[in-house]
Structure 1
Amino acid sequence: MSEEHTPAEEIAEIEDGLEATADEVLALRAEVAALKEQILRVAADAENTKRRTEREANDARAYAIQKFARDLLGVADNLSRAMAMPPTVEDPAVKNFIVGVEMTEKELLSAFDKNGLKRLSPGKGEKFDPHQHQAMMEQPADDVAPGSVIATLQAGYELLGRLVRPAMVVVAAKAPAEPTAH
């Protein structure tokens, strides 16, 4: 015996099947959208990780010489001090020695420059910058504005924009506040 359905019953079965299919399609579309969102997040995270790794590798290469450079700063300081007070002897051997020390200092500073190590030696009257300078003392001064550099005691250095050693400076003292009368 075969069951025969009326056309209305057949239409109802087809409509039930279509409703189930439409619900499945909506569920699948929602799942596809969620998976697309997840893929985009994973791709963005991978790109961010790649950029961060590249930046860290570049920083590591750029600043790898920082400790070595810091160790050489004492040598540069000693050469600078030696050249600040050369002996005034007429002996040609001493003069040649002084020229050799001058050439050595120039070569060292040139090597610093080639490798991105920049000397910070603020001039008289330059504004004190706590990010690059270290105030060693304050002194009253009439010829420069308060808070300005009077003298540099020791040059500072920065490597590719990053401070290696601050310049040690003497700063003009701010004028004392005048006492008020009661």
Structure 2
Amino acid sequence: MSKDKTNAPPPNQDDDDITGQDDNDQALADAIAEATSEGKGGDDDTPSASDAGAPLPPEDEVDSTEVETLRGRIAELEEDLLRAQADYQNMARRSLQDVALARDQEVMNVARSMIGVLDHFDRAIAIDVESTPTQGLLDGVMIVRDELMRALQRHGVERLEVKAGDEFDPNRHEALMRQESDDIESNHIVEQLQPGYILNDRTLRAAQVSVAE
């Protein structure tokens, strides 16, 4: 009996190691499966198979929508353009009306000034020439002249003063003749033949003069 017990084979150590390894592999597999099932229950932005397979709108339908949008935008721009053109035409019309009104107002102001001078002429005509001395008539004419000059000055008109010896200025003077002169330098005014007038430094009428050769 003792002989049989002595000859019994010892336990196999390799079999125990294999069994333990199998248990570890099974535990790892169970842990992975559990983690995977928990992850599926959370939020996931990754599209599912059903989402990935959703049909896209037809290409011709997308193009049609864009075309309609562009047509609507073009219509809006055309309306804006027509409105801007109408506003410009109205503004131009009002500007012309304002210019015409300002011109008429200025003419009215000048006319009012001239009416006062005309009143003086009417009074002069009503004078009895036979009973009025010549000097009195001359004084009356001078009064009318001065009144007319004041009326013109109120509108910016001034008489252009020219005297002998002034240099000839083609912008202010009109040479009617040239003459020799011992006292006046060449191309200078010898005599004023008719006075000139300016309006706000612009020549209304050039003074007519004779010029030294």
TM-score by length of 2: 0.49
Paired letter, 1:46: N
| 1:149 counterpart = 2:189 | yes
Aligned to 1:88: none
CA distance 1:57–1:123, change in 2 (3 Å): farther
Aligned to 1:120: 160
CA distance 1:118–1:138, change in 2 (3 Å): same
Aligned to 1:111: 151
Aligned partners of 1:123, 1:131: CA distance in 2, in Å?
16
Paired letter, 1:149: I
Aligned to 2:125: none
Which structure has the bigger radius of gyration? 2
Output the aligned Cα RMSD.
3.7
Q: How many residues align structurally? A: 142
Aligned to 2:81: 37
Shift of 1:154: 1.2
Encode CA deviations 1:53-88: one digit per residue, 9 max, x unaligned: 32233234435658x97xx8xxxxxxxxxxxxxxxx
Aligned partners of 2:167, 2:93: CA distance in 1, in Å?
41
CA distance 1:126–1:50, change in 2 (3 Å): farther
> Matched residues, percent identical?
25
Aligned to 2:120: none
- Structure possessing the higher relative contact order (Cα contacts under 8 Å, 6 or more residues apart): 1
Q: What's the secondary structure of 1:147's corresponding residue?
A: coil
Deviates more, 1:93-102 or 1:120-129: 93-102
Aligned to 1:167: 207
Report which of the two has the higher share of helix: 2
CA distance 1:166–1:19, change in 2 (3 Å): same
CA distance 1:129–1:57, change in 2 (3 Å): farther
Shift of 1:99: 4.9
Shift of 1:128: 3.4
Which of 102, 113, 133 is the equivalent residue of 1:58? 102
Aligned to 2:57: 12
Paired letter, 2:97: T
Are the aligned partners of 1:62 and 1:160 in contact in 2 as well (CA < 8 Å)? Answer: no
Encode CA deviations 1:7-27: one digit per residue, 9 max, x unaligned: 52xx334x5444212111112
Structure 2 gap segments, 5+ residues each: 1-52, 118-132
TM-score by length of 1: 0.55
Aligned partners of 2:210, 2:204: CA distance in 1, in Å?
19
